[in-house]
Amino acid sequence: MKTSKKLFALLITLFLAVSLLAFQRPGNDKYFEILKNLDIFATLYKEVNNNYVDDLNPNALMKVGIESMLETLDPYTVYYSEDEIEDARTENTGEYGGIGAVIGEKDGGRVMVILPDKDSPAERAGLQRGDEILSINGIEVQGNYERAASQLRGQANSVIELMVKSPNGASRTIEVQLDKITVPSVPYSELLEGDIAYIKLTGFTATASSEVRSALRDLKKQGANRVMLDLRDNGGGLLSEAVNVSNLFIPKNELVVTTKGKLEEMNSSYKTPRTSFDEDIPVAILINEKSASASEIVAGVMQDYDRGILVGRKSFGKGLVQRTMPLSYNTQLKVTIAKYYIPSNRSIQAIDYTNRNPDGSVGKISDALKTAFKTKGGRTVYDGGGIDPDFLVEEEELSPFTQALLKEDMFFLFGNDYLEEVQTIKEVKNFLLEEVWLRTFEQWLRQKNFKYETEVTDELKTIASWAEREGQSALLKNLLSELEKELNQELPELVAKHKDELLNQLTLEFVTRQHLNIGQIKRALHEDKEVQKAMEILGDEKRYQEALRPKQ
């Protein structure tokens, strides 16, 4: 009840503050509407809490109200309660106090270690991919991911005790000392094909540009004369770091991005603040549909100045700027304050959240509403739909059979059972499991009673159910049975048909177990179509330069 009174008092204070504001501003019709609705909300909130038949949690009720209100705006305007502040800080800084491991739910809700970070407290304590977490400091977390996640973070240097069960079934108790975990923005970089610096940038935290600069410096010492910056699956981060990363390749005092908002103070122009690292080195930027925000600024700037080629697929299309603002009681609001525009003056925002469909959904901006712009060298580019690559590389989708196996965590669980059967993998790039493993995998799937059914089979079952309700099942029974037999191929046929895909997935699983996230990246590069395309263009000076000139 005390909490409820405190919240109500807060609403009344807000009500009075807005009342005063309303009478101080000229043309105050809008502020009167705010005042009126705050009054309605405050009285409604009070009456619901006082009169509803069941006891209510006023904090939970208020949180639902706030989040429902913000959902009508855009997905990036977010409220953080006091216990969510640490997650918001991690998002912006890449730092948190924890064990340094990804955990998740697998195999029917079991809380398992998915991937310990290299040289993390988790790895040093002996935690491995596939370990199940049973309890933390005596608190049972079996089947309770949220409880486990909350218990695995805390003050640096504090020690927690974990009861874990290994993939082989043996239980053990281990102590892990929590540490300040820093998530690197550049988890991997290497020299490809003699002189191409490959740099994987996964986020734009406060250290992103310094990490890219450091990787570039090291690789140039090794002989790099060309650069491949991988921004695929990079959801963005700090605007200032997008400017700084661009500045590595763009001269000092060049415009990078302009923000335009409703309030005058939100309108700003950001220019490169210092001398570039290298203005001449050929650059290829890799992007895809998960490259967003700060990633799109960097990709768009490089394209607008004709400074490098873009390879991959159209980016996400998030051209909105957020600012985090403190609220009372140690809560925060991350609110969209402006849209950003890259040097050609185009916006990359793909969705207009202010205009919604009749059903409340939002749609992509129509091609008919897109506007053509020019790069510095005269190439034509378009706004309103993300950044288009200069060289499109279509995504190669896995077969439905392999996707079904991934969805059911079959490769992960197989890795648990055969962890000790695989030889030590020394050279990740060229390693491939022998085909005999496919037979072992097939037998294991059979033991697990894995059933693969196509989407068409699911539709047939729906039809059969409908026919039974209509009393016509006898008519369709034989026909449906024959169709199901035709569609549901035997397991040996499916394994043989998709053997290359399956062998790659199995190889990746065991590489990940022995070499963690670095192994994942190195192995993926082995058959990466976008990387191969970028290498092809970077290796052909004439073609590279032609791509940066206007089409005749």
Active-site amino acid positions? 293, 304, 318
Q: Are 242 and 214 in contact (CB under 8 A)?
A: no
Give the other-Cβ count within 10 Å of 57's Cβ: 12
C-alpha distances in Å from residue 121, one per residue of 146, 180, 197, 468: 21, 10, 30, 58
Q: Are 476 and 77 in contact (CB under 8 A)?
A: no
Cα–Cα dist 542/337, whole Å: 43
Cα–Cα dist 482/464, whole Å: 13
Reported as half-sphere exposure (CB side, CA atoms, 13 A), residue 296 has a value of 31
Output Rg (C-alpha) for the chain, integer angstroms: 28
Give the other-Cβ count within 10 Å of 453's Cβ: 14
33 CB-contact burial (10 Å; exposed 0-12 / middle 13-18 / buried 19+) = exposed
15 CB-contact burial (10 Å; exposed 0-12 / middle 13-18 / buried 19+) = middle
Q: Which residues of 398-434 are buried (b: 16+ CB within 10 A; e: fewer)?
A: beebbebbeebbbbbbbbbebbeebeebeebeebebe
* Residue (of 301, 312, 289) closest to 234 by Cα position: 289
Query: Residue 550 is encoded by which pair of tokens?
Result: 């206007």
Q: Are 227 and 244 in contact (CB under 8 A)?
A: no
Query: Residue 437 is encoded by which pair of tokens?
Result: 């493993």
C-alpha distances in Å from residue 275, one per residue of 103, 257, 271, 298, 303: 42, 17, 12, 17, 20
In three-state secondary structure terms, 430 is: coil
Distance between first and last Cα of the chain: 74
CA torsion angle 406 407 413 414 (round to 10): -30
Q: Are 513 and 130 in contact (CB under 8 A)?
A: yes
Cα–Cα dist 120/163, whole Å: 18
Query: What is the sign of the dihedral through the CA atoms of 490, 495, 498 and 501?
Result: positive
